[in-house]
Structure 1
Amino acid sequence: MIHLLMEAKKGRLRHEDEKTSENDTGFATVEESALGKSIGKMELTHDLITAQALVFFLAGFDTASTLLSFLTYELALNPDIQTKLQAEVDEAAKAGVSYEEILKMKYLDQVVSEALRKYPGGFILVRQCVKDYKIEAERDNEKDIIVEKDCLVTIPVSGIHRDPNYFPDPERFDPDRFSDENKEKIVSGSYMPFGSGPRNCIGSRFALLEAKVLIVSLMSRFDIVPVKRTTVPITLAKSVNLTVKDGFWLGFKNRNR
């Protein structure tokens, strides 16, 4: 990342016109906004580069650990899903697990996408309105609403992700929501674990790859199981980030293969 920032400082960085569809990084990955490609040249100082690298590291660590904590918890409570995921991991291992092989693992991507639906790291987003916007009334007893310029708008991502109108039986952990035949049915704007638009998460590809690599490593060696201290169901804690009371307690059992 520092190399890319230094190249940008020197004016050598260029946007790629096209993204290859083969070996996509995952369903939850956000696409770069076209606005980011049209902004004029900005001065990148060493202080700005240092600050961006630090934020990238800190934000990437906390959100990735949160995702993996909830994901392993759900795998422990859903052994059928875990077994199916292990079968895919074992099949991929025959060819030698590589970057390309991990990106081809469809069920792994479904499991990670479902974990991000149920437990999005950015569970609340705040955006600033850039111009007056009218929300027209839909019923006779309602009035139009004007969202004024510079007004801060809070987007309850976690609430939208658990809305049964968009995701039936939302409390159930179901990776099949993101299968090839079902993910096309997901309503645009109802799934945004990394935000959307020009202010989306810059590290979505990195976060997804990091999570997938670790899950593949764990699934190839262990069964993740509940232990005596595992809390079912979990209770979310009051915090600035998404976490649970009393922490996560899980067991790792060597696989018999």
Structure 2
Amino acid sequence: MGKDAASFSGYRAFKFIGFAICPQLMKLLDIGIFSKKLQNFFRNTIKETIKIREEKQIVRPDMIHLLLEARKGRLKYEDSMDNMDAGFAVVEESELGKTQKKQKVVITDEDIAALAAGFFLAGFDTVSSAISFLAYELAINPDVQNKLFDEISKAPKDSNGKIKYETLLGMKYLDMVVSESLRKWPPAFITDRISVKSFTIEPESDNENPLYLEKGSQLWIPVLALQRDPKYYPNPDKFDPERFSDENKSNIKPFTYLPFGAGPRNCIGSRFALLENKLLITEILRKFEIISTEKTLIPLESSKTIFNILPDNGVWVALKRRSDYC
């Protein structure tokens, strides 16, 4: 069901564009992006979970528990004691989310089902795409892979041979590699915003005209185009983690790097997604070398039939067991 929900090919891609361009018409015609079967599956699964938890007093530290606590008015913002740098790509929390609203918000089971399903679906396809592109770049850039393996092999480990959370976040070259992969292959190649007031974008050159935006205008921000623009990233098609070194990352212009968006509507799962990617690639490289095969497309060509940047036939690499695994 997750795979079905994450597919935006064919008719669903047109419905997605329809909601972006004229949502009122789509609602009037009662056209949904997802089928009733898909909607009911996620709705019923989550509502049944809520019912069982409340009946049997089950508590689990997850998204549904947080939403149930919010419904009871017991959820408050807490400053995290973890001040570790989670990486260049992570987005900062907005101050708007830290303030307590005075008005009481009614949260229904339907709201919880929609939010929890949205949280699941937002990370279902994006994380798998991100790790696929990261594995691809390491396969065709063995010099980068060897340098990363060297950092991983030298990282301190506990008595069970596991790399600790703090150590993982402190690995600088790993963060550089992941950040560069997200630059070249952002999981969401566009993002959107709605203007909250009328605004004029003034021209920057003589051959441009002012662009007037009315209040309520929907804007599409081309994340992929920004992050592949040679004006901001010289030789943009080259996979170069050094762009994100301590010496170079200060040169990156604000709002030209948006793999998780920015501002109050940024991705709330950025820290989790980065941790997943870093942990996955670290555990793979400890025991395997990622190599290209005869099926590996060089360069990759994005599909022209689906609403994302994945190739039609997927991303192909192979794993070769290391004799010197760490």
Quote the residue 1:57 is aligned against.
Answer: 120
Could you tell me how far apart the structure 1 residues matched to 2:296 and 2:308 are?
A: 21
1:180 aligns with 2:246: yes
Larger relative contact order (CA 8 Å, sep ≥ 6): 1
Using the TM superposition, give the Cα deviation of residue 87 of structure 1 relative to its aligned residue in structure 2, in angstroms. Answer: 1.1
TM-score, L = length of structure 1: 0.94
1:31 aligns with 2:31: no
Say whether the 8 Å CA contact 1:67–1:119 is kept in structure 2: yes
Three-state SS of the structure 2 residue aligned to 1:247 is coil
TM-score, L = length of structure 2: 0.75
Three-state SS of the structure 2 residue aligned to 1:109 is helix
Amino acid paired to 1:8: A
How many aligned residue pairs are there? 256
Could you tell me how far apart the structure 1 residues matched to 2:155 and 2:66 are?
A: 31
Query: Against the structure 1 CA distance between its residues 164 and 202, is the aligned structure 2 distance closer, same or farther, given a 3 Å change threshold?
Result: same
1:207 aligns with 2:207: no
Say whether the 8 Å CA contact 1:118–1:173 is kept in structure 2: yes
Quote the residue 2:129 is aligned against.
Answer: 66
Could you tell me how far apart the structure 2 residues matched to 1:55 and 1:154 are?
A: 20
Say whether the 8 Å CA contact 1:66–1:242 is kept in structure 2: no
Could you tell me how far apart the structure 1 residues matched to 2:202 and 2:100 are?
A: 32
User: Residue 166 of structure 1: which of 232, 251, 254 is its match?
Assistant: 232
5+ residue gaps, structure 2:
1-62
Using the TM superposition, give the Cα deviation of residue 93 of structure 1 relative to its aligned residue in structure 2, in angstroms. Answer: 4.7
Find the structure with the greater CA-based Rg.
2
1:119 aligns with 2:189: no
Amino acid paired to 2:69: E
Three-state SS of the structure 1 residue aligned to 2:120 is helix
Please report the RMSD computed on the Cα atoms of aligned residues, expressed in angstroms.
1.7
Query: Against the structure 1 CA distance between its residues 169 and 141, is the aligned structure 2 distance closer, same or farther, given a 3 Å change threshold?
Result: closer
How is 1:191-206 mapped onto 2 (pairs within 5 angstroms)? Answer: 191-206=257-272
Quote the residue 2:194 is aligned against.
Answer: 128
Three-state SS of the structure 2 residue aligned to 1:153 is strand
Could you tell me how far apart the structure 2 residues matched to 1:150 and 1:39 are?
A: 26
Q: Give the % identical residues.
A: 52
1:153 aligns with 2:228: no
**More off after superposition, 44-53 vs 208-217:** 44-53
**More off after superposition, 84-93 vs 69-78:** 84-93
Three-state SS of the structure 2 residue aligned to 1:146 is strand
